[in-house]
């Protein structure tokens, strides 16, 4: 099936019924080689198959000459798109559209330079693709910045480690009549002969303002040049390596203070030119705490304008108490690496009628480090979860208005590198006494006893035909808003289910397991007769999975027949035969001029042996007031286990009377 360029196909499986050995294959032909999208092993009702090009083939193979399997598909076209382009490290990308003709724009963070084209276009093709490879962002080893206003100097590889044997020179030159101020965002050098020099001039021979060999601690207030240029030199040896440097610079005019700066924070001011009298107030980003300097500073001294206090620092700290309705908990020093041997505890408290949703967006800690969540306000509360190592994005809900977070780092583990730690966002959510939403399961579905997942709600999981449930079928929302068990799964059925035993019989199996092709034969015990097929075979019933060929038979109790009781004189039997099965009836009638004396219908009562329900009736002449008995030839008068012999005496006078009449 083909369609115009930039379009693809979406197939919905409406119905499928295949025999064992039949094959169905979906292949996409948009690439150099056919690519399998789906086959009979996953072809189930409700499945959606999407192509990634405008050309797809569907192949069906069956060896059955008559009545092969079948399937029903419905398809519709949709617009194909390019994949979202990869974001460059230390940069970002924005996209106008992922469809044909759309463009992707790439840019780098301050201090990095783009290597490659800054714009890519999604091209129209059988499978749309971008017009080139994504660019990358790199930090240069040195450079000259004329008329520098604001920017950053970062070492090659930052925030990763720099290389050995580097010599990097940067020259910053402010606009005419202005000076340069630098803030130290990060300085981490190996303890060998790696060195950072900042000089008050435009070359390596200018007088130094800062020398990492001479100064143990970085000045929190930064450095200010006395003229337009500022020279920066970074040298590394051939031994150790480290993260390197990140230095923010900005130019400022004479008679003004320099623009303040706080990493991982922000500020407000009453004058954007930073003239004398300007007041600045600092705040930190969520998850960070103000440390060191003052929250409010003021630009003072008309003769030599400068800030009256050092700008503060924002840092992710170890431990804290939070009562906000939303916020962030960060690993210590985030996004820098945390220290070893730490034991940090954070408490989060919201309104009493609420609970807390924890959104763990980043978890990348050492395998021997532990991040634990407690459902309460101390470490004795129930553990909601305990994690180590790395884990993708997930969420946790508390059952009450308090949660305690504990982080313990292994004293023997050293964590290096940028972005190692955790980021936990928290939100106050309504306390509606509901359990978290349970996901759907592959090859199955769920049903819920209540639209809201309140305490006592039962969720029932079931599998599609051909699959069997592994795990618990029913999950209940418990009082603590957790589910009563783990999520089950649906696995493809490879065996017939045990059909069970038949009462009053034994069975002979072809093998220990009920695999496709195996058989079971049922044999009734003595005195019982089989009703149904004695042999059952396990066979594959297509998409619904293996089934038995026949229904389970029954073993019915067998009874001895009743013998014909004989026919009394002047009477006849209706449907006369020698033997009558248990439950059958025998009806008698009289000859003309006679009437029956006794039960006209006898029933063969089941038993061992079976017996007639009563004696056969007698036929009496309508002209004789008294019953006339005569022997019955070969009659069986068995009744309730007793044999009764009848001797009939007929008076001669009666015979003579009958004769004369």
Given a contact cutoff of 8 angstroms between Cβ atoms, the answer to whether 343 and 408 are in contact is yes
Mean pLDDT within 460-468: 85
| Per-residue confidence (pLDDT) for residue 122, from 0 to 100 | 93
Which residues are registered as beta bridge partners of 320?
Answer: 346
Flag whether pLDDT at 627 surpasses 50: no
Mean pLDDT within 611-631: 71
Q: How confident is the model at residue 117 (pLDDT cuts 50, 70, 90)?
A: very high
Flag whether pLDDT at 621 surpasses 90: no
Between 3.30.450.40, 2.60.120.290, 2.30.30.60, 3.40.50.970, what CATH number should domain 320-428 receive?
2.60.120.290
Least confident of 24-33, 332-341, 402-411: 24-33
* Cβ-based neighbours of 33, under 8 Å, separated by 6 or more: none
| Per-residue confidence (pLDDT) for residue 414, from 0 to 100 | 65
Mean pLDDT over the full length of the chain: 85
Q: Which residue has the tokens 């980043």?
A: 362
Share of the chain above pLDDT 90, in %: 40
Between 3.10.450.50, 3.40.50.11540, 3.30.70.1450, 2.10.70.10, what CATH number should domain 444-488 receive?
2.10.70.10
Mean pLDDT within 482-503: 86
Share of the chain above pLDDT 70, in %: 92
Name the class of domain 505-557. mainly beta
Name the class of domain 255-315. mainly beta
Flag whether pLDDT at 8 surpasses 80: yes
| Per-residue confidence (pLDDT) for residue 196, from 0 to 100 | 93
What Rg do the C-alpha atoms of the chain give, in angstroms?
A: 47
Mean pLDDT within 39-47: 83
Q: How confident is the model at residue 510 (pLDDT cuts 50, 70, 90)?
A: confident
Q: Cα(first)–Cα(last) distance of the chain, in Å?
A: 107
Flag whether pLDDT at 216 surpasses 50: yes
Local structure of residue 124 (DSSP, 8 states): P
If one compares 527 and 333, the residue with the highest pLDDT of the two is 333
Q: How confident is the model at residue 416 (pLDDT cuts 50, 70, 90)?
A: low
Each residue of 221-248: b (16+ CB within 10 Å) or e?
Answer: bbbbbeebbbbbbbebeeeebbbbbbbb
Flag whether pLDDT at 656 surpasses 70: no
* Topology match between the domains 139-253 and 505-557: no
Given a contact cutoff of 8 angstroms between Cβ atoms, the answer to whether 338 and 331 are in contact is yes
Mean pLDDT within 188-215: 89
Name the class of domain 91-138. mainly beta
Q: How confident is the model at residue 180 (pLDDT cuts 50, 70, 90)?
A: very high
| Per-residue confidence (pLDDT) for residue 649, from 0 to 100 | 39
Flag whether pLDDT at 630 surpasses 70: no
- Sheet arrangement for strand 296-300: 265-269, 279-284, 296-300, 306-307
Kindly report the number of other CB atoms within 10 A of residue 188's CB atom.
17
How much is the pTM?
Answer: 0.54
Local structure of residue 494 (DSSP, 8 states): -
| Per-residue confidence (pLDDT) for residue 171, from 0 to 100 | 95
Q: How confident is the model at residue 638 (pLDDT cuts 50, 70, 90)?
A: very low
| Per-residue confidence (pLDDT) for residue 67, from 0 to 100 | 83
| Per-residue confidence (pLDDT) for residue 636, from 0 to 100 | 42
Kindly report the number of other CB atoms within 10 A of residue 378's CB atom.
10
Flag whether pLDDT at 337 surpasses 70: yes
If one compares 373 and 263, the residue with the highest pLDDT of the two is 373
Flag whether pLDDT at 316 surpasses 70: yes
Q: What is the pLDDT of residues 68-103, one digit of tens each?
A: 888 899 988 888 888 899 999 999 999 998 888 899
Number of residues that make up the chain: 661
Q: What is the DSSP string of 330-384?
A: E-TTTTSPPPTT-EEEEEEE--TTEEEEEEEEEEE--TT-EEEEESSSSTTSPEE
Alpha-carbon gap, residue 192 to 249, rounded angstroms: 27
Q: How confident is the model at residue 130 (pLDDT cuts 50, 70, 90)?
A: very high
CATH architecture of 139-253: Sandwich (2.60)
Is omega for the bond preceding 553 within 30 degrees of 0, making it cis? no
Flag whether pLDDT at 655 surpasses 70: no
Q: How confident is the model at residue 557 (pLDDT cuts 50, 70, 90)?
A: confident
| Per-residue confidence (pLDDT) for residue 175, from 0 to 100 | 93
CATH architecture of 569-659: Ribbon (2.10)
Mean pLDDT within 244-266: 91
Domain coordinates of the chain in residue numbers? Answer: 7-79, 91-138, 139-253, 255-315, 320-428, 444-488, 505-557, 569-659
| Per-residue confidence (pLDDT) for residue 661, from 0 to 100 | 34
Angle made by CA atoms 435, 440, 446, in degrees to the nearest 5: 80
Alpha-carbon gap, residue 260 to 323, rounded angstroms: 30
- What would the two tokens of residue 116 be? 């490659």
């Amino acid at each position: 099936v083909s369609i115009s360029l930039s379009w693809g196909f979406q197939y919905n499986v409406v119905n499928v019924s295949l025999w064992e050995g039949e094959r169905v294959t979906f292949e996409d032909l948009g690439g150099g080689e056919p690519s399998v999208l789906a086959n009979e092993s996953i072809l189930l009702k409700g499945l959606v198959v999407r192509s990634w090009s405008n050309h797809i083939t569907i192949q069906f193979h069956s060896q059955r000459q008559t009545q092969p399997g079948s399937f029903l598909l419905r398809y519709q076209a949709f617009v194909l798109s390019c994949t979202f382009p990869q974001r460059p490290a230390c940069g970002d990308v924005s996209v106008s559209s992922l469809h044909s003709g759309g463009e992707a724009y790439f840019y780098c963070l301050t201090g990095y330079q783009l290597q490659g084209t800054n714009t890519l276009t999604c091209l129209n093709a059988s499978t749309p693709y971008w017009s080139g490879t994504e660019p990358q962002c790199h930090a240069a080893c040195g450079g000259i910045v004329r008329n520098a206003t604001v920017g950053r100097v970062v070492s090659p590889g930052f925030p990763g480690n720099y290389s050995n044997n580097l010599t990097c020179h940067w020259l910053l030159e402010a606009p005419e009549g202005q000076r340069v101020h630098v803030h130290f965002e990060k300085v981490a050098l190996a303890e060998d002969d790696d060195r950072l020099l900042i000089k008050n001039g435009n070359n390596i021979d200018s007088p130094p303002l800062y020398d990492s060999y001479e100064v143990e601690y970085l000045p929190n207030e930064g450095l200010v040049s006395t003229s337009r240029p500022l020279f920066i030199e970074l040298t590394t040896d051939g031994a150790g390596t480290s993260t390197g440097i990140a230095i923010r610079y900005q130019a400022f005019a004479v008679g003004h203070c320099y623009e303040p700066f706080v990493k991982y924070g922000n500020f407000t001011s009453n004058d954007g030119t930073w003239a004398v009298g300007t007041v600045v107030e600092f705040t930190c980003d969520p998850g960070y705490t103000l440390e060191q300097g003052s929250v409010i500073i003021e630009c003072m001294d008309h003769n030599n304008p400068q800030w009256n206090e050092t700008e503060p620092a924002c840092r992710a700290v170890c431990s804290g108490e939070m009562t906000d309705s939303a916020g962030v908990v960060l690993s210590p020093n985030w996004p820098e690496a945390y220290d070893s041997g730490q034991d940090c505890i954070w408490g989060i408290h919201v309104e009493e009628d609420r609970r807390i949703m924890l959104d763990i967006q980043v978890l990348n800690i050492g395998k021997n480090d532990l991040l634990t969540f407690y459902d309460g306000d101390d470490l004795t509360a129930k553990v909601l979860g305990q994690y180590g190592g790395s884990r993708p994005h997930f969420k946790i809900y508390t059952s009450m208005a308090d949660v305690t977070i504990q982080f313990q780092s292994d004293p023997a583990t050293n964590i290096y590198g940028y972005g190692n730690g955790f980021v936990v966002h928290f939100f106050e959510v309504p306390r509606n006494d509901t359990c978290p939403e349970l996901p759907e399961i592959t090859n199955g579905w769920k049903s819920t006893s209540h639209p809201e997942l309140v305490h006592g709600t039962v969720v029932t999981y079931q599998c599609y035909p051909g699959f069997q449930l592994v795990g618990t079928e029913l999950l209940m929302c418990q009082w603590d808003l957790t589910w009563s068990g783990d999520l089950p799964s649906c696995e493809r059925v490879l065996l017939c289910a045990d059909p069970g035993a038949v009462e009053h019989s034994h069975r002979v199996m072809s093998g220990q397991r009920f695999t496709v092709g195996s058989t079971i034969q049922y044999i009734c015990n003595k005195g019982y007769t089989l009703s149904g097929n004695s042999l059952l075979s396990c066979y594959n019933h297509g998409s619904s999975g293996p089934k038995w060929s026949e229904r389970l038979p029954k073993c019915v109790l067998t009874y001895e027949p009743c013998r014909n009781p004989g026919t009394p004189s002047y009477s006849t039997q209706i449907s006369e035969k020698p033997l009558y099965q248990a439950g059958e009836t025998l009806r008698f009638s009289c000859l003309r001029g006679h009437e029956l004396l006794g039960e006209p219908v006898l029933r063969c009562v089941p038993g061992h042996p079976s017996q007639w329900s009563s004696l056969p009736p007698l036929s009496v002449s309508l002209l004789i007031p008294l019953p006339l008995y005569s022997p019955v030839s070969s009659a069986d008068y068995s009744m309730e286990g007793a044999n009764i012999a009848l001797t009939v005496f007929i008076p001669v006078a009666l015979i003579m009377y009958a004769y004369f009449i």
